[in-house]
Amino acid sequence: MDHLDRRIIERLHRDARVTAVQMANEFKVTEGTIRRRLKNLIQQGIIRTTVVVTPRFLANHTIAFLCIKTEAAKVRDVAKALAQMEIVRYLAFGTGAHNLIVEVVVESNQELFRFVSDHVAPMPGVTAVDTSIVPEVAKTTYNEAILRESDFVSAQTTGPLRAL
């Protein structure tokens, strides 16, 4: 990933609807260059395109965070299993009191209870699940951060940033 790739990402971060023509004009390169770079960034998994629906506009929904404690040796196995579940919107490794932080969106409190008690708690390696229901979201942001050169890692990154 070079300087132009980073500029493309930063520009899309500010306005995901910007066209390849607009970026080409801004960066003084051809539209084809921008399109090739975008294709490569997507194929390499560096960026992805998606639509984010604001949860408050979904009928009958419950948002919850699950703070999961696991046996240290099983944390990646539990994470892999959770990552396959459709209702899991966010999954991260944690330090401190919990090994995994999980956000789920379900249709009801009853569905949340069934999910935790029937699917999460019985997983091999799970030792505790603390559940917090989100009654109201105060802020959600995807494009407010200022991207700096140091915010990017190389494709060769290993260690904690490697894929599950």
| Residue 25 confidence (pLDDT) | 97
pLDDT computed for residue 140 by the predictor: 75
Residues 33 and 65 in one domain: no
Which pLDDT value is given to residue 160?
A: 46
Element (H or E) spanning 38, and its range?
A: helix 31-43
* d(C-alpha 134, C-alpha 140), whole Å: 13
Residue 156: inside a domain? no
> Which pLDDT score is estimated for 1?
84
Q: Are residues 62 and 118 in the same domain?
A: yes
Task: Give me the number of domains the chain comprises.
Answer: 2
Q: Is position 142 within any domain? A: no
Average the pLDDT over 86-96 and give the result. 93
Q: Are residues 11 and 70 in the same domain?
A: no
Distance of alpha carbon 17 from alpha carbon 50, whole angstroms: 12
Per-residue confidence (pLDDT) for residue 136, from 0 to 100:
83
pLDDT for 84: 96
> What average pLDDT does the segment 135-143 reach?
75
Residue closest to 125 by CA, chosen among 90, 85, 76: 76
Provide the whole-model pTM: 0.65
CATH number of the domain residue 128 falls in: 3.30.70.920
The range of the structural domain enclosing residue 74 comes to: 55-134
CATH number at residue 41: 1.10.10.10
Tell me the pLDDT band of 55, cut-offs 50, 70 and 90. Answer: low
Residue linked to tokens 């494709």? 155
Per residue in 5-28, pLDDT tens? Answer: 999 999 998 888 999 999 999 999
- How many Å apart are CA 131 and CA 129, to the nearest integer? 6
